[in-house]
Amino acid sequence: MKKTIRKILGGKAMTYAMVIIVFVIMEALLHGGMISSSLAGQLVPICAYICMAIALNLTVGILGELSLGHAGFMSVGAFTGVVVVIALQGAVPSGIVRFILAIIIGGIMAALTGVLVGIPVLRLQGDYLAIVTLAFGEIIKNILNNIYLGVDGSGLHFSMKDTASLGMQGGTVIINGPMGAVGIPKLSTFVAGFILILIVLTVTLNLIQSRTGRAVMAIRDNRIAAESTGIDITRYKLTAFVISAALAGMAGALYALNYSTIVPKKFDFNTSILILVFVVLGGIGNIRGGIIAAAVLTILPELLRSMNDYRMLIYAIVLILVMLGTNNPQLRRILGSIFGRKHAEPVEGGKSNE
Amino acid sequence: MNLLANLINGLSLGAVYAIIALGYTMVYGIAKMLNFAHGDVIMVGGYVCFCTMSYLHMPAPAGVLFAVIVCTVLGIVIEKLAYKPLRQATSLAVLITAIGVSYFLQNAALLIWKSDPKVFTSVVNIPAIRLFDGQLVISGVTVATIASSVIIMIALTIFTGKTKVGKAMRAVSEDKGAAQLMGINVNSTISVTFAIGSGLAAIAGVLLCSAYPTLMPTTGSMPGIKAFTAAVFGGIGSIPGAMLGGLLLGVIEIFAKAYISTQLSDAIVFAVLIIVLLIKPTGLLGKAIHEKV
Amino acid sequence: MSDNNVKSRERTKMVPLPSDSIVPERDVHKRPVLEAKHLGIDFGGLTAVDEFNLAIGPTEIAGLIGPNGAGKTRVFNLLTKVYKPTRGTILLNGVDTANMNTVQVNKAGIARTFQNIRLFSDLTVEDNVKIGLHNQIRYSTAAGILRLPTFFKKEKEFHEKAMDLLGIFDMQYMANVKAGALPYGAQRRLEIVRALATNPSLLLLDEPAAGMNPSETAELMENITKIRDTFQIAVMLIEHDMNLVMGICEGIAVLNYGRIIAKGTPSEIQNNPEVIEAYLGKQKEA
């Protein structure tokens, strides 16, 4: 009996329940005007970061490869989403329809980028693979910094030089190189973010508990045994990586459509790392842990706002202390004896896949 | 002539990358960790030198010396407090901790020195060399940078090859357990490695700021990433590899800027890295890894 | 892919011959499941395996023995293409495997276990077996994500087959345990089950009895024979436990310094002076 309860509490249902309950509470507080405007403004980004944490967990926790460039996929989705929303302004008047299209096309573009990046990257191993994902992240950012894109009556115009060379008659410039995208309609809402989390979560959890997901985890656990058991390494690695990229792209579109302007620099190495921190602190491969970490660590600097200049310093110290606390054998043993066995192995290594 | 000037500029930038990469590669070799805080130690080195010269009005050599001392101590302290407790932890846990240290250093620097850029006065006052009737001018900083990188590289090679501590370092990076059984103090060897790596970072910081004189709390991050790339490029863990990788990276970056596109130079640098790794998956001079079945 | 021909692979009927009357490379007239000809590999100028010639009958239990470092595991790695052979050919059910990689060799019919156990240790016992069944039961990634009806149908099939296979060693009750948490003997057995799940025609066992106590070993011997009888497959095993090798192998090949020095039935091998020399040593190398 106790076992069954623990199974339910530890299972997928619990993860969904947690997300839904927190959403309902936040929505209620929001309507009751009990949330500060700064926190309210953070709700959509939190949703986007949660999606990113789930997406990256698929690569780091389930596939078992370290990606230091996931913000790159996020930015592809973000800018694609913005272009879709602005370019279709005339053709599709409904904001919601354009928003959904933006998320879908953003995801597809990120997936295509994932294929391009994944084919070379996944041939490498370990730290070499990690550095190449970092390199690709920087390349994507660098290229986006040089894209100029506009729309007028005759359609889309593209240049890698400047806005003048777009050769447009009137129309609007959507992406302006390093200045980024401007005049974005704010179509993202907290509800939309919540729905996207549910979608991303469902895709990931269903994938993990399926034929493909098993193959991916087999590769993670023992590549040579997987090969000898007839698992196509490249194919499944690429599948997981591309799905992860697609989900990141969707998160990016959600994120971008929450702001009126967005610059490529937003999606640099530091953002990739930020998301990696969520995944690691939440427990690698632990989807629910990643969700909690993403939410808490996005709110934390907000809560520390009163400390002003010191807040990022405190954030850094907290990060170091948490890593030391959860990974040092002695400290872990002490924590374990205080909180009982379950706490002895949360962060790191505990590859529970809920 | 232009080509030659670009080549020299590239070598100069590459020499800075090489010095940073040497620190990266040594720490990686021994601790098997990607020390992302290394780039920020560079920045600290730059600030310490700046303060010594601008506020204490001491001469340049004192500034460099102070920077080296502070960074060496800093390196040892970071290792003791943040990395040593994680010897048994997974590499990802150590990586995140290193990132935490990096955030810490950047934000501490922001509090101490504020965000406005400081204008760094060059520590090098060797006169520029003029060749071909002044058609080719090589600045003093360039000469000093290239010279120091060569000296450091030679010194390190001798150090790891000939001295007792250096041999201990190689032993520890080969097999920690076996080294310990042979009576080598693994902990102090790792400390020494961090000390040397951080000391080198200080020198790199001073040289970097002498060549590109704006100093900010984030000054170290991009050169840090580039040097890390250089270390991987040359084969991480290999000292000559770091030197070669650094120099090549610098030259590629400057050439890309000069002949292809200023804006896309970073993309080109990283693209070259990717191509090299696809052909040689463990870098130019890296050892191939074999998994026993 | 090539799963169709794997499924429809013809199975020879078992020839119930008493073990001691069987010559090595028995029932080879039936077209051997495996034929290695002049197989060899060099590592940096050093010849690690050379002139490896062997045929295994479709339902034979063959033994590969030899002193430590003789290159036994290396032969397995060559047969499964973990290493690419420098020379020679491998015919699997008459098909040349020259252009196949490890994955394709498995799909074509060779499954193996590892000397240093290689399980998917963070997955459950049942999932380990399901990975073995991966190429037997199929549905698309999309069907899995969208939870289409095929997903439920095929997953049911996965579960039932996995449980059946675990039944070989009576391991059903540990289906939900993480593979990494199993005791040593159970891990070795699970590796065999996983290999069997890939529907092989040749099963390579690398020291299956290592670390087992005598009663476990006796049970294992029974089970290996049972597996051969039920699944009608050939088994080749590397083993240091001579009771096991002499007890169940019908043909034995002895490897020393990367070369086969003797082939024969257990009794022939036991009385072969060259084999005794290889194991116990003599005055000088020939």
Lowest mean pLDDT across A3-7, A246-250, C51-55: A3-7
Contacts of B293 in chain C (CB under 8 A): 73, 77, 82, 114
Calpha distance A53→A59 (Å, rounded): 10
Please report which confidence band the pLDDT of residue B54 belongs to, taking 50, 70 and 90 as the band edges: confident
The 10 Å Cβ neighbour count of residue B67 is 29
Q: Do A351 and C141 touch (CB under 8 A)?
A: no
Mean pLDDT, chain B, as a whole number? Answer: 86
Q: Which residue of C has its CA nearest to B290?
A: C83
Stretch C8-31: mean pLDDT: 43
CA–CA–CA angle A345, A347, A353 (5° rounding): 90
Most confident of A144-148, B157-161, C155-159: C155-159
In a domain, B29, yes or no: yes
CA distance C212 to chain A (A): 22
Interface test with C, best of A60, A217, A229, A232 (most C CBs within 10 A): A229
Residues of C in contact with A226 (CB under 8 A): 120, 131
Q: What residue in C sits closest to B292 (Cα-Cα)?
A: C116
Quote the pLDDT of residue A343.
39
**Whether residue B37 has pLDDT greater than 80:** yes
Q: What is the pLDDT of residue A116?
A: 94
Classify residue B245: in a domain, yes or no: no
Q: What is the CATH number of the domain that holds A84?
A: 1.10.3470
Task: Please list every residue in chain A whose beta carbon sits closer than 8 Å to the beta carbon of residue B289.
Answer: 125-126
Q: How far apart are CA A192 and CA A85, in angstroms?
A: 15
pLDDT of residue B292: 65
Q: What letter does residue B138 receive in the DSSP assignment?
A: E
Closest by Cβ to A327, choosing from B93, B228, B273: B93
Q: What is the mean pLDDT of residues B137-164?
A: 87
Q: What percent of chain A has pLDDT over 70?
A: 90
Q: Would you tell me which residues 274-293 of chain B have a C-beta closer than 8 angstroms to some C-beta of chain C?
A: 293
Say if the Cβ atoms of C119 and A207 lie within 8 Å: no
Q: A187: which residues sit within 8 A by CB, 6+ positions away?
A: A85, A95, A96, A98, A99, A102, A257
Residues A307, B228: Cα–Cα separation, whole Å:
34
Q: What residues contact residue C7 under an 8 Å CB cut-off, 6+ apart?
A: C136, C199
* pLDDT confidence of residue A91: 84
Q: B97 is written with which tokens?
A: 């901790």
Q: Which of C5, C84, C120, C146 to probe the A interface (max A CBs under 10 A)?
A: C120
Residues in chain C with CB shorter than 8 Å from the CB of A230 are 103, 106-107, 134-135, 198
pLDDT per residue over A87-142, tens digit each?
Answer: 888 888 888 999 999 999 999 999 999 999 999 889 888 778 888 899 999 999 99
* pLDDT for residue A85: 93
List pLDDT tens digits, range B69-83: 999 999 999 999 888
The half-sphere exposure of A26 on its side-chain side, counting CA atoms within 13 A, is 22
193-232 of A, contacting B, C-beta below 8 A: 224
pLDDT in tens, A150-171: 888 777 888 887 777 777 777 7
Local confidence band at C1 (pLDDT 50, 70, 90 cut-offs): very low
Q: How far apart, in whole angstroms, are the C-alpha atoms of residue B36 and residue B223?
A: 11
Report pLDDT digits (tens) over B237-293.
888 899 999 999 999 999 998 888 888 888 998 998 889 888 888 888 877 666 666
pLDDT at A8 over 60: no
* Mean pLDDT across C175-201: 93
Nearest to C56 by CA among C80, C30, C75: C30
Look at residue B281 and tell me if it is in a domain.
Answer: no
Which residue from C118, C139, C198 is facing A224, i.e. has the nearest CB? C118
Whether the CB-CB separation of B121 and B54 falls below 8 Å is answered with: yes
- For residue B101, what are its two tokens? 């240290």
| B 242-271: CB under 8 A from A | 261, 263-264, 266-267, 270-271
Residue B290 lies in a domain: no
In the three-class reduction of DSSP (H, G, I as helix; E, B as strand; rest coil), residue C36 is classed as: strand
Find tokens 């939440």 and name the residue: A282
Per-residue pLDDT of B179-237, as tens digits, reads: 888 888 888 899 999 999 999 999 999 888 888 888 888 888 888 888 888 888 888 88
C14 contacts C229 by C-beta, under 8 angstroms: yes
Percent of chain B topping pLDDT 90? 22
What is the tens place of the pLDDT at every residue in A268-316?
Answer: 888 998 899 899 888 888 898 899 999 988 888 777 777 767 778 888 8
**Is 90 exceeded by the pLDDT of residue A224?**
yes
Q: What is the pLDDT of residues C108-161, one digit of tens each?
A: 999 999 999 999 999 999 999 999 999 999 999 999 999 999 999 999 999 999
DSSP A230: T
Which of these, B205, B190, B172, lies nearest to B43 by C-alpha position?
Answer: B205
How many structural domains compose chain B? 1
* Better pLDDT: C286 or B277: B277
A302: containing domain: 2-353
Q: What value does the mean pLDDT take over residues A48-68? A: 94
Contact criterion met (CB < 8 Å) for B271 and A139: yes
C235/C19 Cα distance (integer angstroms): 14
Q: How many structural domains is chain A composed of? A: 1
Q: Does B35 lie at the interface with A, CB-CB under 8 angstroms?
A: no
B-chain residues near C114 (CB < 8 A): 293
Minimal-distance CA residue of chain C relative to A209: C144
Read off the tokens for B80: 């003791």
Count CB neighbours of A167 within 10 A.
Answer: 11
Task: Compute the distance between CA of residue A234 and CA of residue A228 in angstroms, rounded to an integer.
Answer: 14
Q: What is the extent of the structural domain holding B45?
A: 2-220
Mean pLDDT calculated for residue range A24-45: 85
Q: How confident is the model at residue A345 (pLDDT cuts 50, 70, 90)?
A: very low
pLDDT digits (tens, 9 = 90+) for A170-203: 778 888 888 888 888 999 999 999 999 999 999 9
Contact pairs from chain B to chain C, CB under 8 Å: 4
Which tokens is B239 given? 């000292």
- Assess whether pLDDT exceeds 90 at residue A350: no
Model confidence at A228: pLDDT above 90: yes
Residue B185: CB atoms within 10 Å: 13
> In C, which residues are within 8 Å of B288 by CB distance?
none
Among C255, C270, C251, C278, residue whose Cα is nearest residue C63: C251
Q: Is C256 on the interface with B (CB under 8 A)?
A: no
Q: How many CB pairs under 8 A join A and B?
A: 129
Can you read off the two tokens belonging to residue C87?
């020379």
Classify residue B235: in a domain, yes or no.
no
Residue A335 has pLDDT above 70, yes or no: no
Give A-chain residues touching C107 at CB under 8 angstroms: 230
Query: With contacts defined as CB-CB under 8 Å, which chain B residues touch A290?
Result: none
Average pLDDT score over chain C: 85
Q: Do A138 and B225 touch (CB under 8 A)?
A: yes
Is the pLDDT at A354 greater than 60, yes or no? no
Mean pLDDT confidence for C28-36? 79
Q: Looking at residue A1, what is its pLDDT?
A: 47
Percent of chain A with pLDDT over 90: 47
* A6 compared with B185, residue with greater pLDDT: B185
In a domain, B106, yes or no: yes
Q: How far apart are CA B169 and CA A130, in angstroms?
A: 25
Strand ordering across the sheet containing C251-256: C110-112, C202-206, C234-238, C61-65, C251-256, C259-264
